[in-house]
Amino acid sequence: MANKKQPNPIDIHVGSRVRLRRMMLGMSQEKLGE
């Protein structure tokens, strides 16, 4: 959090996983809305 100069590989990995989960959750919510 304090070190924003260089992106950590772990932060990138977590961020990509969070983005994937958010996409999957959004798709499932759209299906539930139908």
Residue 30 to residue 34: CA distance in whole angstroms: 7
pLDDT for 3:
62
Residue 17 to residue 31: CA distance in whole angstroms: 21
Residues lower than pLDDT 50 in the chain = none
Residue 16 to residue 31: CA distance in whole angstroms: 23
- Rounded to 5 degrees, φ, ψ at 7 are -70, 130
pLDDT for 26:
86
Whole-model pTM?
0.48
Residue 28 token pair: 């499932």
